[in-house]
Structures are given as structure tokens and as C-alpha cells.
Amino acid sequence: MFILVTGGSGSGKSVYAEKRMTDFSACRKRYYIATMECRDDESRRRIARHREQRSGKGFETLECPRNLAALAMEPGADALLECMSNLTANEMFLGGQKQDWRNVSEEIMRGVCRLKESCRNLVIVTNEVFSDGTEYDPWTLDYLKCLGKVNTLLAALADEVVEVVYSIPVKIKESDRGENEK
């Protein structure tokens, strides 16, 4: 089962994604793929909040700020990737240089497909983009194009897509495989 969870900042999507992941069998290895790089006080606070939030839920944390395709996990495990927007930014602006968003989106999707093939259940958290109507500088616009492309490809690949709005999950795409593959 592959579930894509999206929503705005502070919407409750991470809590929802963790809940969905813990609904799957506790008998399998459960990975939390953390993509945020710790660069400042704000990122330190967010990382600490997420660590506390997932504490006691049986996750083994794997730090993966980029190069998802190289990630090694136990086959048949369950995995939660938090979050695609961080991974995309890390890949787009590698070493302070902007990468071509088309190449970045292809590389990310190669990693996602490899991850999906390896996992029994996969949950990916991402952010809603292009709904604010704001005009952006060219670098930010390329990042949004990349994340938008990745999100579109993820949604097509996913068994289920859920948007979390004010902590309320709204199913956009429902699986025909049953509620949970345990």
C-alpha cells in the first residue's frame, strides 16, 4: 500500500501519516525516513518536535536528506518518508547551486519507485504548492515546479491520496485494496 499525504503547513499531515503507519502491523520493521537537514534554530525545533511526536511508535529513523535511491532498508518493511518538500529542496539546491528541476524530479521519482518496490507499506508526506497565488523569484518558482511535478507523479503512483485540512483527513484518491494491508 502506498499512501500520499499532503496539506498545508501545520495542517496535521505528519500526525495523520504517523497514525496511518502505526495502523499497519507492528510485526514488521518500521522506518521513519527523515529528510530535513538541521541548518538553523527553526529546523532544530522542528526536528525535535517530530522526534518527540514519533517517540514510542516503533520507528527506526534513517536520515536521508538526498539521494533516496541509495537508501538501504530491510526488504518488506514499512516506511514513512517525512517530507518530500525537504528532500526536493535539498536536491534542487545542492551545494548552493540550483539544479535543473526536471532532472531533480526524475531522480527523486527513481528513488521513490525503488523505495516503493522494497516496502510493504509506504507513506510519503508532502506539501501543498501553487495554491497561494503569490509570484516568486525564478529559483523558488523552479523549486515549486519540481515539487509540483513530483507530487503529480506520486499521486498517480499512490494507492491512496489524502489531503489533511485543519487536522481533518480528506481522501482524494481511495484504494481498492482495502483499508490496510497488514
What are the catalytic residues? 50
User: How much helix, strand and coil, in percent to the nearest 5, is found in the chain?
Assistant: 45, 20, 35
For residues 90 and 36, give the distance between their C-alpha atoms in angstroms, rounded to a whole number.
8
Q: How far is CA 82 from the centre of its chain?
A: 4
| Interacting residues of 105 by C-beta distance below 8 A, sequence separation 6+ | 88, 146, 149, 150, 153
DSSP for residue 98? P
CB atoms within 10 A of CB 93: 15
State the first-to-last Cα distance of the chain, in angstroms, to the nearest integer. 9
